Amino acid sequence: MNKTRKILFVCMGNICRSPTAEGVFKTLAQKDKRLPELFVDSCGTIGYHAGEPPDPRSVAASKLRGYDLSAIRSRKITQHDLEYFDLVLVMDKENLSNTRNLIDKDHANQQKIKLFLDFAKESTVSSVPDPYYGGESGFDDVIDLIEQASRGLIEYLA
């Protein structure tokens, strides 16, 4: 029997990048019959937006591509998350550092915390840029990167 793989996506506020990653990855993974059962979630390294839905611009850009973010609510990462999830995939280097700082540097769980774009083999960037303060096209660019990384992650998990 396959063990459920638990994957957590992390950005700063959990209203743009990580909920988009959660929605995109879930949708693409559900279409791939090679994968084991998955549990996918997202969170932020700050709790400022806790309980809020994703940014309306993320929701709109995702919806245009067939991804539904409507059930996602922002939350802050916890110590339990770092124990519970098999992979903790972070959107940028600052949040990678912030997430790794939540656990002892010698702890085995450090190995499961990775940059999400490490799975996007065709990408020339290592961080998903935060579209919050940019223009509308930034949300489309984020989805492009997340789709690339999601396809690479699916291959990795399959």
Q: How does 111-150 read in b/e, with b if 16+ C-beta sit within 10 Å?
A: ebbebbbebbeebeeebbebbbeeeeebbebbbebbbbbb
Within 10 Å of residue 19's Cβ, how many Cβ atoms? 29
Is residue 151 part of the annotated active site? The answer reads no
Cα–Cα distance measured from residue 124 to residue 141, given in angstroms and rounded to the nearest whole number: 13
Is residue 81 part of the annotated active site? The answer reads no
The structure tokens 């450090």 sit at: 110
Is residue 86 part of the annotated active site? The answer reads no
Residue 61, Cβ density class (10 Å: 0-12 exposed, 13-18 middle, ≥19 buried) = buried
Among residues 16, 17, 41, 55, which one is catalytic?
A: 17
Among residues 11, 43, 81, 151, which one is catalytic?
A: 11
Strands 87-90 and 5-11, bridge-based pairing: parallel
Among residues 41, 92, 130, 151, which one is catalytic?
A: 130
Instruction: Give me the active site residues, please.
Output: 11, 17, 130
